[in-house]
Amino acid sequence: MPFIVNTDRDREDMLRSIGAASFDDLIADIPQEIRLQRVLDLFPALGEQEVLKLLEGLASANRSSAGYVSYLGGGAYDHFIPSAIKSIVSRSEFYTAYTPYQAEVSQGTLQAIYEYQSMMCRLYGMDVANASMYDGATALAEAVLMAMNVTGREQVVLAGRMNPYTVSVLKTYLEASGHGVILQNRLEDGVGSLEGLKELVSDRVAAVVVQQPNFYGSLEEVEVIGAEAHEKGALFVVSADPLSLGILAAPGSYGADIAVGEGQPLGNHQNFGGPYLGIFTVRQACVRKIPGRLVGMTKDREGNDGFILTLQTREQHIRREKATSNICTNQALCALQAAVYLSLLGKQGIREVAEQCALKAHYLAGRITGIPGYSLKYGAPFFREFVLETPLPAAEIIGAMLDKGIFAGYDLSACGESGLLVAVTEKRTRAELDSFVQALLLL
């Protein structure tokens, strides 16, 4: 972001305009006890050229998927992003509008959100999609709070293995809201136990939640899980990877009441963990309880198409006690990138990307498990990720692969488990996959 310095004269003019005699007058209301009582310890002033050189040096110390072959997953993936996306989303009518408080002057932003919502409904097979969820984790947490609000119940059942960081966000939300009990189903071969699920789901459960594919990349028995939830009057909440829907069934087709997801794979860079995009879709019956904002299309008095905020359920717009959520930012730029990505690829393109991910992941898994000492930890079907049992600790393999320009995967010891979680996207070439196998053979 460019920086234009203010001169002493500029600062004097600004202070005079607001009626302050000095900078100390400007901050007079800030208590002395919370002010820094010493000179700020900064390095000497640098010119623009020196600053750029300094920042470039710092950036070069990072290891990123731009310079490494990445098999990292667990929620953020190295997918190909068409160059046209940056060109389109950088247009001034999209890039400058932050949030559409004044609908009449925010038509470009509103139309972009409307198109995004329409695409999410088609992708997830649901009736209504919103905007403004921070990321996949907060979208899931908001979905659970919504289920509690709809049903009046306070128990939540996690049907299978979910991303542990998403579960942490959910626990934080429930703790802050002052209610909610999370029940974790036991696992069998890396997926949720159907018998265990029956033991947990009762008429006190607000939501049965499943991640598809789950944290290990395995496919859960979503149809059976949904039927069990509905039999006990609970809402069925699905956290689905959007790219997987190119070949997997849409949540709406197997009875999801709320379907959420992380939109990062849809044309958004990994960005060291964010900003990302929370996808949130619901059945029509739940629309009045949905958080965030909804954009609709209407006609003006001259018959022209126009876009409006159809439902405004945030506490910025209505009385706080009636708000369904306190999320108040706008992820419209990330949503726009997702919409442009889907538009560029189309239905067939999304299917092709998903097929390539699945085929390449299974090819690599087959090659690696042919190496003595390596095996798949779980036997359930998988989409783009799988867990390996390895002859060496996962941390050692990851460290050794860094010297070869490879991010080998995610060490599950960070979650208190064993194994190496490997993700394969459409970007990986046959040569890269074979090179990874050869590198493992040499360890």
Within a domain: residue 422? yes
Kindly state whether residues 93 and 162 are assigned to the same domain.
yes
Kindly state whether residues 142 and 200 are assigned to the same domain.
yes
For residue 353, what are the contacts with CB-CB under 8 A and spacing of at least 6? 79, 243, 246, 345, 426
Determine the pLDDT at residue 155. Answer: 96
CA dist., res. 293 & res. 312, Å (int)? 5
Pick from 308, 341, 374: which residue ends a domain? Answer: 341
Pair type for strands 191-192 and 187-188 = antiparallel
CA dist., res. 217 & res. 421, Å (int)? 9
Pick from 281, 312, 341: which residue ends a domain? Answer: 341
Total domain count, the chain? 2
Within a domain: residue 45? no
Kindly state whether residues 291 and 334 are assigned to the same domain.
yes
| Strands annotated E in 284-323 | 293-299, 305-312
* DSSP symbol at 382: B
Kindly state whether residues 146 and 270 are assigned to the same domain.
yes
Within a domain: residue 92? yes
Kindly state whether residues 237 and 327 are assigned to the same domain.
yes
Cβ–Cβ under 8 Å, residues 408 and 437: no
Kindly state whether residues 356 and 287 are assigned to the same domain.
no
Pick from 292, 313, 341: which residue ends a domain? Answer: 341
Cβ–Cβ under 8 Å, residues 405 and 69: yes
Kindly state whether residues 116 and 219 are assigned to the same domain.
yes
Element (H, E) at 80: none
Cβ–Cβ under 8 Å, residues 258 and 285: no
For residue 43, what are the contacts with CB-CB under 8 A and spacing of at least 6? none
Kindly state whether residues 252 and 170 are assigned to the same domain.
yes
Determine the pLDDT at residue 366. Answer: 98
For residue 395, what are the contacts with CB-CB under 8 A and spacing of at least 6? 411, 413
CA dist., res. 147 & res. 142, Å (int)? 9
- Picking from 155, 159, 257, 237, the residue whose alpha carbon sits closest to that of residue 204 is 155
Q: Residue 320 maps to which CATH number?
A: 3.40.640.10
* DSSP symbol at 208: E
Pair type for strands 278-282 and 258-262 = antiparallel
Q: Residue 408 maps to which CATH number?
A: 3.90.1150.10
pLDDT tens, per residue, the chain with 443 residues: 566 778 999 999 999 999 999 988 999 999 999 998 898 888 888 888 998 999 999 988 888 888 899 999 999 999 999 999 999 988 877 766 566 666 666 788 888 889 999 999 999 999 999 987 889 999 999 999 999 999 999 999 999 999 999 999 999 999 988 888 999 999 999 999 999 999 999 999 999 999 999 999 999 999 999 999 999 999 999 999 999 999 999 999 999 999 999 999 999 999 888 889 999 999 999 888 888 788 899 998 899 998 888 876 554 555 556 666 666 666 788 999 999 999 999 999 999 999 999 999 999 999 999 999 999 999 999 999 999 999 999 999 999 999 999 999 999 999 999 999 999 999 999 999 999 999 999 98
Within a domain: residue 7? no
Query: Measured on CA atoms in the order 104, 106, 111, 113, is the torsion positive or negative?
Result: negative
Cβ–Cβ under 8 Å, residues 383 and 213: yes
Alpha-carbon separation of residue 128 from 94, 114, 131, 207 (angstroms)? 23, 11, 10, 19
Cβ–Cβ under 8 Å, residues 215 and 163: yes
Kindly state whether residues 371 and 268 are assigned to the same domain.
no
Determine the pLDDT at residue 98. Answer: 60
Kindly state whether residues 268 and 334 are assigned to the same domain.
yes
User: Which domain range does residue 374 map to?
Assistant: 69-81+347-441
Determine the pLDDT at residue 412. Answer: 97
Kindly state whether residues 412 and 429 are assigned to the same domain.
yes
Kindly state whether residues 75 and 93 are assigned to the same domain.
no
